[in-house]
Every structure is written in structure tokens, then in C-alpha cells.
Amino acid sequence: MTVMKKPETLKEAVTHYCPGCGHGIIHRLVAEVIDELKIREKTVGTAPVGCAVLLYDYFNCDIIECAHGRIPAVATGIKRVHPDLVVFGYSGDGDMAAIGTAEIVHAVNRGENLTFIFVNNAVYGMTGGQMAPTTMLGQKTTTTPYGREIKEAGYPLRVSEMLATLDGACYIERCAVNNAANVIKTKKAIKKAFQNQIDKKGFSIVEVLSQCPTNWGIATIKSNEFIEKEMMKIYPLGVLKDKGD
């Protein structure tokens, strides 16, 4: 029987995440990958503004907390100074789909050798459940009380598809953590995204569809179904770009 241990890359800490939140799962997957690749002591993480801002309280590696949306620029600065370190970004949908769109587009376009985890939960969690650009049509949030309507708030933004059109993108895959099978697939994708950086292949992004039962206003089990039935219709899983070798 295999006894599951806490990854060395995770600190002994209780997270502040809500019950049923996907961040805890995704943190663990990233930490397991860093352990398995034996890169903890040469890894620098860049923490976002959003629910994952306290990344440094949970991750046992060098971390810098960035201004909202600026992670790709900060990560660029670190990586260019230390090309042999492994630098990863951990972003939400505010960072990647709204305030930091310029930074992510250009970091990808420059082909920076970085690894990004993009957690898409279709809502702004930390600020209390406002609309994100990734919020789905009809979805109720604290700033779309009648549900997101096209005429007022436009369409859900597919960031990964958009970034996949850029020549600088090496590998982009969309995964989900709504069930065990998808969690395993997500880990595989994250591992590949880190390995790509070690192999100096360029920009890799793993978008992860993640639960936010608190701000969706639904039960935790239902939120797993919500990812499957609602989010995957707009954000289908799969590899969007893979330059391979």
C-alpha cells in the first residue's frame, strides 16, 4: 500500500481556502511535480493578487508576490536574470483574462521560458464573487445580479485559445480538477509544463477549470458537476498548442 506523504514543496500550513475550492488540489499537484522533478531548490514562484496571493504561506520555495496582472512581467525579470532557475506563475482569471492581458500576451509572444498555471473559476473569488471575463453567459455574480448578459458585459473570454495563436507559445493545455481522472490529467499537464521549461522549450500554460462553490453559491459536489456541465461547454478540455520538440 502506498502511503501518501505531504510534498516537501508544501509547508506545514492550513490553507485559507474555502471548503470545496480547487486551489488546494492545484497547489498539491504543482508541489508534487516540483518534488518529482527535484527542482524545489531552484524554483521561484510568482504569486498573484487573488485567492492565491498567500502562495508563500503554502509553498516551500522562493516566492515573490506581484501586483495584479503583472506576474508575467515580474517572472520575465527573474527568469532573464537567472535563466537556470525554474520560474512559475500561478494566476487567476483576473490576472490572465483582464488586468494582465497585455503582460501575458507579450510574455508568451516573446517566448519567455516560463511555466504558468492559470486557474479559471469563472469568478473573482477573493474580492467576493464579482464577474470575471471568464464568467459564463447567464451566470450570476455580485456584479451581474441578473446573470451575465452580452449587451452589458460581453462574452466569456477564452484566454488559452487566444494565446495558442501566438508563435511564442510552446504548450497550452486546458484541464480540470472536478474529478479524480481529470486531476490525474491535470498533474500530467503541469509536469509537462515544468519539464518544458527545464528543457528550455519556451512558454507553457496549463489552464485549470476549478471550483468556487462559495462564490458560485452552490454545494461543493454540485460545483464539480457545474465544471463538467457548464464550464466545459465554453472551455473544452484538451491540448490547444504543443510545439513538441
Q: Which residues contact other proteins by CB under 8 A?
A: 40-44, 46-47, 53-54, 56, 59-67, 70, 72-82, 85, 102-103, 105-106, 110
Nearer residue to other proteins within complex by CB, 106 or 188 = 106
Burial group, residue 244, by CB count within 10 angstroms (0-12, 13-18, 19+): exposed
Task: Tell me how far, at minimum, the Cβ of 53 lies from other proteins, in Å.
Answer: 6
* Shortest Å, Cβ 51 to other proteins: 13
Please state the closest distance from residue 67 (CB atom) to other proteins, in A.
5
Q: Give the residue ranges of DSSP H helices in 93-234.
A: 93-94, 101-109, 150-153, 159-164, 180-198, 213-216, 220-226, 232-234
Please state the closest distance from residue 192 (CB atom) to other proteins, in A: 21
- Strand, coil or helix: 192: helix
Nearer to other proteins, 49 or 136 (CB): 49
CB of 86 to other proteins, least distance (A): 8
**Nearest by Cα to 191 from 203, 177, 206:** 206
Q: Which grid coordinates are listed for 84?
A: 537556470
DSSP 103: H
Q: Output 34 or 212, the one with its CB closest to other proteins.
A: 34
The one-letter amino acid code at 122 reads A
Q: Which is nearer to other proteins, 92 or 156 (CB)?
A: 92
For residues 84 and 161, what is the distance between their CA atoms, to the nearest angstrom? 29
Nearest CB to other proteins, comparing residues 48 and 156: 48
